[in-house]
Structure 1
Amino acid sequence: MSWKLTLPCTRAEAETIDAAEDFGIDPAPVLMTTETVEDDTETWRLDAYFEAEPDDAAIAAIAALVPSAAGTPPQVEALGDEDWVTMSQAGLEPLHVGRFFVHTAAYADAVPAGARAFLIDAGRAFGTGHHETTSGCLAMLDRMADRDFRNVIDLGTGTGLLAFAARELWPTARVIATDIDPVAIDVTAVNATLNAVDRVELVVADGALSDDITAAAPYDLLIANILAGPLMSMAPEVAAIAAAHATIVLAGLLETQRADVVAAYAACGCSLEDVDRRGDWSVLRLTAGAERFVPTAPIDPKGRDGWALDL
């Protein structure tokens, strides 16, 4: 028997929930957020699916994700013997972006002819493609298919989806996918096997300072779908591993944060070339300077913000 815990939440909370949160529960719950009233930022819902009845500690851990629900008793219900993972994903409609079709197992038979399908089930890492930032990145990459990239890195890969898209678009390129969370790298490895994606190198790393990352630099395409604060604080280290005239795709930022993010990268010699705005979110394409950026001082990872997983 499986169980579902439901709490109300806001859109802002839904967009910052970390699906790879370590709750100390094995197996970890599957988290799903849903807009319950169209275009109402305050009326969303969080559903957490468990394989066993959640105890008080598990309920408290989920409730901590949605402060706006303080004082609201969570709804906890038994689901019987249904396939709870498939049921939890039933609300995730497939996404068709350019040549890519991103779907859960529930839509495995709905792949359009000629599309490159990626089976990405919701689970312990973000990046199903359904958030505006991830779908915007897919669209941005798809529009660059006629370019010739040789060395690609996806910083904060989450489920691996954007790295997989890069492998599809530039099959001869070296592609590296990194994440601060080992769980995300494990999920990416599983997803790579499920989707017959090969030759994507996986690295557990905090930011871009890992020896494995710097040794493979410079990169001519850099993708970072994280959050605005980390994007800004990481600007020098991202720019430092970029080749001259490299393309940098940044996402995870609100439109209201765009100017600050652009300014952080402009200070490192990068210029804004394109913006794909999706709702309140923006995906940026920048070009690195004509000469490789060299930081004027050593970068101390302890002095910059922590960063989040791919949305």
Structure 2
Amino acid sequence: MNTDPSIPWRLSARVRGAGAAAAVAEALDAVCVAVAAFETSERGAEWQVDAYAATRALTPELEIRLALTAAATGGLLLDTSETRLARRDWLADNQLAFPPLRIGRFFVHGSHHGGSVPAGMIGLEIDAATAFGTGEHPSTRGCLLALHALAKRRRLRRLLDIGTGTGILAIAAAKCWHRPVLAGDTDPGSVLLARHNTRDNGVAALVRVRRALGYRDRAFAARFDLVFANILARPLMRMARDLSGRLEPGGRAVLSGLLRRQEAMVLSAHRGRRLALERRLVVDGWSTLVLRSGARRSG
């Protein structure tokens, strides 16, 4: 990676698919100084990945590699462009744009962070190369706050993270409880990125990440003390029955990715499965629900 802080070139790639954006961002991170990815459509279908370099980086070979990388995750590279910029300290600007976040006892920062993790806090290194799953989104913040509260009063043995994305919640859980965590995502690009992040955070031995379509995956056949599912409201509703079969009696599920106005329908789907609301957190209009499994096992 070029380390010259004066970056006169910006390479931009428009990508379809969140996983493809993550994979393209990771590929560009190997040849550029700084990378950032942003949603450009309301449903998250299209993303723009911007990469900054001291010299021109876009070659026909790189463009082909990016197209293949996007296609390998089921996405599509829509187009690429390169722009010469005025000289300035782009790396410093990137650091200012993505400062560390304090969320409960978690200190979320990028690899560009030069300082130490504050005393008493747990560091989570998640680069802003993928804006989703970096702690910026209210649903991720809500999950981390819920995890913080649970860690103060519960010792857990088996943990599961569905829709892991960057792996931030699985990594946080592994660092809190020092117990194995299973993590799954439907997107292969997210799986690769999450594995990369577990290594960067020193918990690769504890967090196992695999491509999985939900709770029914054969690797998730056990019952868990804690389940995270930071996805969307309707998938949460469809998966309510499967969730009840994966929780130990008295186990907790942290559900997020839903707007406050969607709470009632999500809760209704889970109450019929002996899952009761224990706590609700609302961050900028996004809800995180902590549910508790009933005493009698449900199938």
Q: What range is the shorter-chain TM-score in? A: 0.7 to 0.9
Q: Judging changes above 3 Å, is the alpha-carbon distance between structure 1 residues 52 and 83 closer, same or farther for their aligned structure 2 residues?
A: farther
Q: State the partner residue of 1:151.
A: 158
Structure 2 letter corresponding to 1:282 = S
Q: Cα offset for 1:236?
A: 1.2
Residues 1:274 and 2:279 aligned together: yes
- 1:21 CA displacement: 2.9
> Unaligned regions of 5+ residues in structure 2, if any?
1-7, 30-34, 52-56, 68-75
- Is residue 49 of structure 1 aligned with residue 54 of structure 2? no
The within-5 A match list for 1:289-308 is 289-294=294-299
**Which residue number in structure 1 is paired with residue 83 of structure 2?**
77
1:225 aligned partner, one-letter code? N
Tell me whether 1:129 sits opposite 2:135 in the alignment. Answer: yes
| 1:202/1:79 CA distance change after superposition, 3 Å | same
The 2-side partners of 1:195 and 1:129 are apart by 15
Verify: 1:165 aligned to 2:166, yes or no: no
C-alpha change, 1:93 and 1:63, in structure 2 (3 Å) is farther
Work out the CA distance in 2 between the residues paired with 1:24 and 1:196.
21
What SS does structure 2 have at the residue aligned with 1:144? helix
Percent of aligned pairs with the same residue? 34
Output the TM-score relative to the length of structure 2. Answer: 0.75
How big is the shift at 1:22? Answer: 5.7
Could you tell me whether the CA contact under 8 Å between 1:86 and 1:106 is conserved in 2?
no
**Counterparts in 2 of 1:84-103, with a 5 A limit?**
88=94, 90-103=96-109
Tell me, yes or no, if structure 1 residue 240 matches structure 2 residue 245. Answer: yes
Task: State the shift of 1:200 in Å.
Answer: 1.2
Structure 1 counterpart SS, 2:19: coil
The TM-score, its normalising length taken from structure 1, stands at 0.72
2:232 aligns to what? 227
Aligned position for 2:27: 27
Q: For residue 257 of structure 1, report the CA deviation from its aligned partner.
A: 0.6
Alpha-carbon RMSD: 3.4
Q: Distance in 1 between matches of 2:21 and 2:187?
A: 10
User: Aligned equivalents of 1:199 and 1:226: distance in 2?
Assistant: 23
CA contact (8 A) 2:37 2:130 kept: no
Name the aligned partner's letter for residue 179 of structure 1: D
- Asked if the contact 2:38–2:48 (Cα under 8 Å) also holds between the matched residues in 1, the reply is yes
How far apart, in 2, do the equivalents of 1:4 and 1:181 lie? Answer: 25
Partner of 1:307: none
Q: What is the one-letter code of the residue matched to 1:92?
A: F
Secondary structure of the equivalent of 1:20?
Answer: helix
Contact 2:38 2:131 in 1 (8 A): no
| Aligned residues between the structures | 260
Distance (whole Å) between structure 2 residues aligned to residue 81 and residue 207 of structure 1: 47
1:105 aligns with 2:73: no
Q: How many angstroms apart in 1 are the aligned matches of 2:288 and 2:256?
A: 5
> Are 1:118 and 2:124 counterparts?
yes
Equivalent in 170, 187, 191 of residue 181 of structure 1: 187
- Runs of 4+ more than 6 Å apart: 61-64, 80-86
Distance 1:86 1:48, change over 3 A: farther
DSSP-derived class of the 1:189 partner: helix
SS of residue paired to 1:105:
coil
Deviation at 1:151, TM superposition (A): 0.7
Letter in 2 for 1:121: D
Match of residue 267 from structure 2: 262
* AA matched with 1:254: L
Q: CA deviation at 1:63?
A: 8.1
SS of structure 2 residue aligned to 1:106: coil
Q: 1:189 to 1:63 in 2, by over 3 A?
A: closer
